[in-house]
Amino acid sequence: MTSGPEHLDASPLRPHEELALHGERVAAPSARSSFAIVLFVAIGIASGLVALFTLGESAGIDLSLPLTAAGVAVVCYLAATATGIRWMAWAWVGISTVIVVLAELVDVPRLLALVVTGAILAAIAFARRRDEAFRQTAVALVYLVAGTLAVLVDPRLGLAIAGLALAAHAAWDVVHVRRDAVVSRSLALWCIGIDLTVGIGCLAAALLV
């Protein structure tokens, strides 16, 4: 039996868990699958709240939070694409965090470190002719442009842009949950929770502070 988050990605169906649709038999979500969806989204929301309140109490909410969150998300998707191993997205949550911490220790901008890491992973994905290489790299470039714009404009406007961009990434997560491809379904569900929570929190901070 497979262990870890991956075992929740699979949802074996029993005979009574099928529905008729246009004369065909289609699978209905099992109770275990529904529980997994709620669980990982809830964990993502909790993770986002911890990030918001921890940074809000210390240094305050600024551009670094949504940009770092978006950068880590993009790197995780690129890592799974480059390796062709879906659970590598989970591994790269930790690896990306280490990269951010090390960048801070050696006085290198964390976003620069994430951009370089993403570029290397994208190059590997293209070199290995991965089917998702173009799509994932295109999304990464969109976030690079959004991040650059957020840095260049007024800080409050930049925080709003970055917050909206991060929240919008939840839609990309939903696509991968429905496709059940590229990254682990559990990772995409977790990302939905954290992207929406941190993104909306940053947008609120920009508008209300």
183 domain residue, yes or no: yes
Scan for tokens 């290489």, then name that residue: 133
3 domain residue, yes or no: no
Residue 169 Cα distances to 3, 29, 200, angstroms: 28, 24, 12
**139 in Cβ contact with 123 (< 8 Å):** no
- CA 169 from centre of chain: 7
27 domain residue, yes or no: no
CA 194/CA 184 separation, integer angstroms: 16
DSSP string, 66-133: HHHHHHHHHHHHHHHHHH--TTHHHHHHHHHHHHHHHHHHTT--HHHHHHHHHHHHHHHHHHTT-TTH
Owning domain of residue 70:
39-208
170 domain residue, yes or no: yes
Which pLDDT value is given to residue 87?
96
28 domain residue, yes or no: no
Which pLDDT value is given to residue 17?
40
116 domain residue, yes or no: yes
14 domain residue, yes or no: no
pTM over 0.85: no
17 domain residue, yes or no: no
SS3 at position 63: coil
Which pLDDT value is given to residue 57?
55
Number of domains in the chain: 1
Summarised one tens digit per residue, pLDDT across range 16-65 is 344 443 444 444 456 678 888 999 999 999 999 999 988 655 556 888 99
Nearest Cα to Cα of residue 86 among 170, 188, 2, 14: 188
- CA 195 from centre of chain: 7
The residues of the chain scoring below 50 in pLDDT are 1-4, 6-8, 10-28
